Amino acid sequence: MPAPADVDAPLGIFDSGVGGLTVMRGIMSRLPGESILYLGDTARVPYGTKSEETVIRYALGCARVLVGRGIKLLVVACNTASAFAVDALREELGIPVLGVIEPGAHRAVQTSRSGCIGVIGTAGTIRSGRYQAAIQSLAARSRVVSKPCPLFVPLAEEGWTHGAVPRAVAHEYLDELLAQRIDTLVLGCTHYPLLSDVIAEAAGPGVALVDSAEATADAVAGALAAMGGARKPPAPEQYQFLVTDDPAGFGRIGRRFLGRDLGSIEWVDVA
Amino acid sequence: MPAPADVDAPLGIFDSGVGGLTVMRGIMSRLPGESILYLGDTARVPYGTKSEETVIRYALGCARVLVGRGIKLLVVACNTASAFAVDALREELGIPVLGVIEPGAHRAVQTSRSGCIGVIGTAGTIRSGRYQAAIQSLAARSRVVSKPCPLFVPLAEEGWTHGAVPRAVAHEYLDELLAQRIDTLVLGCTHYPLLSDVIAEAAGPGVALVDSAEATADAVAGALAAMGGARKPPAPEQYQFLVTDDPAGFGRIGRRFLGRDLGSIEWVDVA
């Protein structure tokens, strides 16, 4: 990978909405000193229920906005967009592109002792089979069982992350996977880490949870190091936020995902 | 209202997705003989979590497609689009436009004896205050209490309409409204009729449910009669479907909402 023209340029992150802020949080913590430009496609969220063609079209639109603002590397924080659009983005953009699926799959293979790995995600992510393929290409003998869990996204956005309702939903989704005796469970959607307490409780102590957000931060650090593109402090990093729908609503919900105030948020139109 | 140029022209219905098929179902049953052209904006669903500006923009885009295909009257089946966009649509389109809110409000006022009416809907619909205003303009002494219930939409789309999870969600949302001693509850979102069993159970026998879909079918019949625009059988009616994302997925889920197979579904691009 060639070094970026401007190592001071921000990392770009995009997601269908607020969920990718959990990935941003991981990158902020792993790579202090790097500036980040985040785009949440809140006018068209969610991606997880939509078709491959539509997700690719939306992902290209978002990426073009970020590239137009001079990012040095693109992180596709949305699992569904990672599943469907990373190849199309790499082909078009001319800058390094990292999705969340390969890092998550890698971490899952490192974590599992039995080789029996569960993957949960949106309908689109699971239908794509990309986690399953990535895990199997790293560990051919592993057995992957997967399950779409669409209700976890609205639960996390509603803030219902503890209590009877999310507990009942988690059991409804996970009991079938647990019957397959998995020892590792990949949280294959950026919203799911907010529900990790109830998911861990439903999964029981014998199952390790893998958060793709953390694994992705390591991959970004590795890619920056490899391309000689890491930023040199002491100039302070900057965090900027773009959204395609109402900035105020994004700021309110986003705070829960990022773990801190977002500051000013700019509206952009994405074709 | 002037009679339409072509009484054989279809009625147009649009919704953010499949939910409006419950309204279409009501109109098919109330007005056999009328052809219907339905558009589901599945590439941008849901509207209920998005801002007024974005919903108006999307609604105008959908309506232009339908008007371009020669509909004689437009039904805005989506409660959120009815709340935010009916005025903008009437101003631009030059054909009669009916939303679901006034008919639902009217039915609620007819139904309530105590005058204490509950309204549930998406975050956007409730925030707009349109149901509250419509009910109060019809019955100034009524008391309206309202509550956004965002999880009901993904529950209905997931097909989880009975059992422990929807029951727990219904109690979580409704107990606060019931404490206000409502005797009537407006299902202010096209998805909610699919959950009417658990909603009725949580609400108890003292609360009547009002389905805006049924009330809207009556309003359409009234408007057609008033404008001399009802279709004269015996030429058979036609039902056609347009979507902005994957037609196959729409057909699968839509069947549950319409109560019958949809037949062929056409993809359209909406700006």
pLDDT digits (tens, 9 = 90+) for A41-63: 999 999 999 999 999 999 999 99
What's the helix, strand, coil split of chain A in %, to 5?
50, 15, 35
Quick one: pLDDT at residue B231?
A: 80
Quick one: pLDDT at residue A268?
A: 97
Dump pLDDT digits (tens) for A154-191.
999 899 999 999 999 999 999 999 999 999 999 999 99
Structure-token pair, residue B125: 């619909």
Quick one: pLDDT at residue A201?
A: 97
Rg (CA), chain A: 18
Mean pLDDT of the B221-231 span: 89
| Residue B1 scores a pLDDT above 70 | no
Q: Is B51's CB within 8 Å of A172's CB?
A: no
pLDDT band at residue A89 under the 50/70/90 scheme: very high
Q: Return the H-helix or E-strand segment holding B12.
A: strand B11-15
Beta-carbon count within 10 A of B118 CB: 28
Q: Which 3 state secondary structure label does DSSP give B187?
A: strand
Q: Which residues contact A179 (CB under 8 A, 6 or more apart)?
A: none
- % of chain A exceeding 70 in pLDDT: 97
Quick one: pLDDT at residue B2?
A: 60
ipTM of the complex: 0.88
B62 is catalytic: no
| 8 Å CB contact between A66 and A143 | no
Range list of β-strands (E), chain A: 11-15, 36-40, 73-76, 97-98, 116-121, 143-148, 184-188, 208-211, 239-243, 265-267
Q: For all residues of chain B together, what is the average pLDDT? A: 94
Quick one: pLDDT at residue A214?
A: 87
Of B49, B154, B246, the CB nearest to A51: B246
Give the whole-angstrom CA distance, residue A198 versus residue A210. Answer: 14
Q: Give A114's DSSP letter.
A: S
Structure-token pair, residue A110: 């490192």
Rg (CA), chain B: 18
Q: What is the largest CA-CA distance in chain A?
A: 52
| Residue A99 scores a pLDDT above 70 | yes
Quick one: pLDDT at residue A236?
A: 83
Give the whole-angstrom CA distance, residue A210 versus residue A231. Answer: 28
Give the whole-angstrom CA distance, residue B73 versus residue B94. Answer: 10
Structure-token pair, residue B148: 């956004």
Sort B140 into a burial class: Cβ within 10 Å, 0-12 / 13-18 / 19+: exposed
pLDDT band at residue B237 under the 50/70/90 scheme: confident
Q: Calculate ∠ Cα B180-B185-B186, nearest 5°.
A: 135
- % of chain A exceeding 90 in pLDDT: 88
| 8 Å CB contact between B161 and B194 | yes
B149 is catalytic: no
Q: Give A237's DSSP letter.
A: P
Among A36, A33, A40, smallest CA distance to A246 is for A40
| 8 Å CB contact between A42 and B50 | yes
Of A45, A54, A160, the CB nearest to B245: A54
Quick one: pLDDT at residue B213?
A: 86
Dump pLDDT digits (tens) for B181-192.
999 999 999 999
| Residue B235 scores a pLDDT above 80 | no
Quick one: pLDDT at residue A246?
A: 94
Give the whole-angstrom CA distance, residue B110 versus residue B119. Answer: 15
| 8 Å CB contact between A38 and A65 | no
Count of CB contacts below 8 A, A vs B?
65
Which of A58, A165, A252 is the best substitution to test chain B (most B C-beta atoms within 10 A)? A165
Give the whole-angstrom CA distance, residue A180 versus residue A120. Answer: 14
Quick one: pLDDT at residue A271?
A: 79
Give the whole-angstrom CA distance, residue A259 versus residue A209. Answer: 20
Instruction: Please give the backbone phi and psi of residue B242, each rounded to the nearest 5 degrees, phi first.
Output: -120, 140
Structure-token pair, residue B229: 């625009």
| 8 Å CB contact between B20 and B39 | no
Among B70, B52, B65, smallest CA distance to B14 is for B65
Dump pLDDT digits (tens) for B42-91.
999 999 999 999 999 999 999 999 999 999 999 999 999 999 999 999 99
Quick one: pLDDT at residue B3?
A: 64
Range list of β-strands (E), B32-167: 36-40, 73-76, 97-98, 116-121, 143-148
Q: Is A154's CB within 8 Å of B151's CB?
A: yes
- Count of alpha carbons within 13 angstroms of residue B168, beta-carbon side: 13
Quick one: pLDDT at residue B140?
A: 94
Q: Give A194's DSSP letter.
A: G
* B window 149-188, beta carbon within 8 A of A: 150-151, 153-155, 157-158, 160, 164-165, 168-169, 172
| Residue A267 scores a pLDDT above 80 | yes
Give the whole-angstrom CA distance, residue B84 versus residue A218. Answer: 44
Dump pLDDT digits (tens) for A111-154.
999 999 999 999 999 999 999 999 999 999 999 999 999 999 99
Q: Are strands A73-76 and B265-267 parallel, antiparallel or unpaired?
A: unpaired
Dump pLDDT digits (tens) for A188-243.
999 999 999 999 999 999 999 999 888 999 999 999 998 888 887 667 889 999 99
Mean pLDDT of the B249-260 span: 92
Sort B139 into a burial class: Cβ within 10 Å, 0-12 / 13-18 / 19+: middle
pLDDT band at residue B214 under the 50/70/90 scheme: confident
Q: Which residues contact B222 (CB under 8 A, 6 or more apart)?
A: none
A8 at the B interface (CB within 8 A)? Answer: no
| Residue B122 scores a pLDDT above 80 | yes
Give the whole-angstrom CA distance, residue B164 versus residue A29. Answer: 39
A245 at the B interface (CB within 8 A)? Answer: yes
